Structure formats: structure tokens, C-alpha cells
């Protein structure tokens, strides 16, 4: 019961943050790796009503998934592009956050993993039972999913994407939670090693000193989870294309934001940048996203976009087009708020531009053009 109440509280906070402007907690806005398409959502009164595929060149949209009826409540989240940009997956969960939400047991909440093929426009339901999150390997040959089990224990499963046969099941540490479905959270490397960002309670550290409390990076290797960080304040990470380095973001309470790097699998970390609150605000619950090359980090606070250039050690700010206030419903909690910046997400388009969705507006911000 304690675990379920905690998850409901986290879910409520997460959705509130998303609607207040800490963009994209549920990963609705995702740009294809080739930069041609972006997924968007239409927000209805009680739920996310429609998932759209938007062609950035033609400025045309297509409905990918629509709520079957006005009476039916569901949640669309965790959009993830296949590395070849030919398809993307997403999760449909009926009756969002009922009986434990993201970490509910299978019998409580039957979520479905969907696959949309861009060229054929086919929508398929993948033969994977009740997944809560899914991530593609870099080569596209494997898919890593989170599957809920008991109230305190979940598992990760690896599937072959040509046959959808389950290849391997990995246990998660007891009581481990993911930070939010927006950040990378977990990455499946080509050798089936897993790097994950997990949040463990203090009780887990007391029972096992090798599992530090708080939000830390872990690596599953040699059939066990090994901590890559121990500070408990990690919010997102990035794996290099060669899968030999990892970078991560720390939000240091009362001080600011720091970015670190370390080689995989061993060696000590080194700090790449530190940004104080006075230069660019950093806070818990904020969404941070690395550019594909890992050299820039972006986050949004209300009407301002911040971009940290790790090579130069500089932070640039960009004003976002002001939108009229909108009344936004928090849906299943029956609350409404007048919000000036209803942000539904943002993502990198290559290394030089970002795509944002606020309300029904799509904004493309060119970093190079703004710099010049």
C-alpha cells in the first residue's frame, strides 16, 4: 500500500510539472533521428486525446492514435523512435494511474506497446505483455522493456525485434523506481549491457551499501547491478555513439547544475561543467536533454530556453514566443489551472535546433541562427 500511494503521488507531481512548463514529462514530443518528423499530442479535458505525427518539412500532421470514445480515459506516453526513423513505439495505458499507475501489477492495468510504421502508416500492437516503458538498442535489433511484477519488484526484459521473442529477463533492485518516463532512464547497449537511472529509498542503502540511496546511474553487468554514481541527485544521462562513455546531469540542491563524464566500464568521473543558479536556474523535477552528440544540454523554464554548450562552457538563453493563457485540466484529479505556458515537450532536431510544443503550437528554434 505504501508503495502504491507513493507512486500515485509521484504521478500527480509529474503531470503537474509537465503542464506547468517543465516540458515533456511523458515524452510526447520526440523528433525522429533523421529530423524529418516529430510526434505531438492533442490535449483533451481528461486525457491526452490524440497522438499526431507531424512532417516538419511539409508542415502536415497525421493522426496516429485516437481515444476510442469521449467516455474512455487513457494515457499515451513514452514515444520512442526506432534508430532507422522508419517506425516508433509508444505505450497506451487505460485508466491512467489506477491501482499503482506506472508500476501497477499486470492484472491491475493492461498497458499495450504500439508500433507505428511511417512509410506504410500501419499501426501494430506488439506481442509484449503489459510493458510500462520501452527502449530501442542503438542498432535496432533489441528492445528493452520494463515490466511490473510484485508491489516492490519489477523486471527488465530484452526482446529480439525481428521475431519479438524474449531473450533475457533482468531483475531490478527491490523498491527501485525510475525518475520519470521523460528522461532516458535506461539504455540497452549492443552487447546487452543495460545502463539505467533509478531512484532507491534510503532503506535500500541501509540493507545493501552497494546500492546508494537517491537518483543514481547503474550498470547491469555480470548479472548484477553496479552503481556508476553515488551522489543521489542525477536527472538524465547520455551514452556516446561508440558506447564507451557516459555523461550525466546532477542537480546540486541550493547550488546549481553540474555535468560529469566517465568512460565505460571503469575509471573515475570528471566534471565537465558547473552552472550556478544565478546563471541559469536548475531545479529538481526539471527536464534536461542532451543533444545527440552529447555536447549541448537544453532545458526550459516558462518562457526561456537554456542551452549549455559543454565545449565552450557557456549558457545561452532564448526567449520563446509568448502564447495566450489557456485553461488546462489536470484530468483525473478534477483540477483546472489557468496557465500561460502549457508545455507538452521539447526535443533536439540534430545538434543545431530544438522543437517545442506548447498548446497547439510547434516552435523550431535554430541554435546556430540565434547565435549569429
Q: What is the pLDDT of residues 329-344, one digit of tens each?
A: 544 334 455 555 567 8
Q: Residue 161 pLDDT > 60, yes or no?
A: yes
0.85 cut: is pTM over it?
A: no
Q: Residue 94 pLDDT > 70, yes or no?
A: yes
CA distance 287 to 323: 21
User: Could you tell me the pLDDT band of residue 116, with boundaries at 50, 70 and 90?
Assistant: very high
Domains of the chain as residue ranges with CATH: 2-371 (2.130.10.10)
Q: Residue 247 pLDDT > 50, yes or no?
A: yes
User: Could you tell me the pLDDT band of residue 301, with boundaries at 50, 70 and 90?
Assistant: confident
Out of 13-17, 216-220, 322-326, least confident range: 13-17
CA distance 180 to 64: 24
Q: What are phi and psi of 152, to 5 degrees?
A: -120, 0
User: Which residues 6+ apart lie within 8 Å of 202 measured at CB?
Assistant: 213
Specify the pLDDT at position 67.
Answer: 75
Q: Residue 18 pLDDT > 50, yes or no?
A: no
Specify the pLDDT at position 104.
Answer: 47
Q: Residue 126 pLDDT > 90, yes or no?
A: yes
59-91 pLDDT, tens per residue?
999 999 987 766 666 778 889 999 999 999 999
- In which order are the strands placed within the sheet that holds 304-309? 289-290, 296-301, 304-309, 314-319
CA distance 244 to 263: 6
Specify the pLDDT at position 353.
Answer: 95
CA distance 188 to 145: 10
20-40 pLDDT, tens per residue?
333 344 678 999 999 999 999
Q: Where are the alpha helices (DSSP H) in 117-260?
A: 202-207
Average pLDDT over the chain reads: 79
Place of cell 511484477: 149
- Please state, in angstroms and as integers, the Cα–Cα distance from residue 128 to each residue in 157, 168, 371, following that order: 10, 13, 45
User: Which residues 6+ apart lie within 8 Å of 93 measured at CB?
Assistant: 74, 75, 77, 109, 111, 112
Q: Residue 160 pLDDT > 80, yes or no?
A: yes
Q: What are phi and psi of 67, to 5 degrees?
A: -55, 130
Amino acid at each position: 500500500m505504501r508503495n502504491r500511494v507513493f507512486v500515485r503521488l509521484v504521478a500527480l507531481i509529474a503531470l503537474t510539472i509537465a503542464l506547468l512548463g517543465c516540458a515533456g514529462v511523458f515524452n510526447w514530443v520526440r523528433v525522429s533521428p533523421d529530423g524529418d518528423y516529430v510526434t505531438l499530442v492533442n490535449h483533451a479535458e481528461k486525457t491526452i486525446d490524440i497522438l499526431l505525427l507531424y512532417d516538419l518539412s511539409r508542415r502536415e500532421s497525421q493522426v496516429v492514435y485516437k481515444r476510442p470514445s469521449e467516455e474512455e480515459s487513457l494515457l499515451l506516453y513514452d514515444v520512442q523512435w526506432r534508430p532507422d526513423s522508419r517506425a516508433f513505439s509508444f505505450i497506451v495505458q487505460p485508466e491512467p494511474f489506477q491501482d499503482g499507475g506506472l508500476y501497477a501489477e499486470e492484472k491491475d492495468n493492461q498497458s499495450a506497446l504500439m508500433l507505428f510504421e511511417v512509410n506504410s502508416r500501419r499501426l501494430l500492437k506488439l506481442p509484449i505483455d503489459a510493458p510500462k516503458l520501452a527502449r530501442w538498442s542503438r542498432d535496432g535489433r533489441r528492445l528493452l522493456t520494463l515490466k511490473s511484477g510484485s508491489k516492490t519488484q519489477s523486471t527488465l526484459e530484452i526482446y529480439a525485434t525481428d521475431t519479438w521473442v524474449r531473450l533475457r529477463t533482468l531483475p531490478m533492485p527491490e523498491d527501485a523506481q525510475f525518475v520519470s518516463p521523460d528522461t532516458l532512464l535506461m539504455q540497452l547497449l549492443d552487447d546487452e549491457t543495460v545502463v539505467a537511472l533509478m531512484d532507491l529509498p534510503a532503506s535500500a542503502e541501509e540493507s545493501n551499501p552497494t546500492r546508494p540511496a537517491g537518483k543514481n546511474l547503474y550498470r547491469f553487468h555480470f548479472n548484477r547491478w553496479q552503481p556508476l554514481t553515488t551522489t543521489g541527485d542525477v536527472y538524465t544521462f547520455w551514452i556516446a555513439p561508440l558506447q564507451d562513455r557516459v555523461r550525466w546531469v546532477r542537480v546540486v540542491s541550493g547550488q546549481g547544475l553540474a555535468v560529469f563524464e566517465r568512460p565505460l566500464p571503469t575509471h573515475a568521473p570528471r566534471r565537465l561543467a558547473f552552472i550556478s543558479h544565478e546563471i541559469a536556474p536548475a531545479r529538481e523535477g526539471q527536464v534536461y536533454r542532451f543533444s545527440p552528440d552529447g555536447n549541448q544540454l537544453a532545458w526550459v523554464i516558462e518562457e526561456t530556453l537554456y542551452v549549455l554548450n559543454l565545449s565552450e562552457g557557456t549558457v545561452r538563453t532564448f526567449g520563446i514566443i509568448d502564447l495566450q493563457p489557456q485553461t488546462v485540466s489536470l484530468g483525473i484529479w478534477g483540477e483546472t489551472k489557468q496557465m500561460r505556458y502549457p508545455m507538452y515537450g521539447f526535443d533536439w532536431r540534430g545538434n543545431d535546433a530544438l522543437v517545442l510544443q506548447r498548446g497547439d503550437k510547434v516552435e523550431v528554434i535554430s541554435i546556430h541562427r540565434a547565435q549569429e
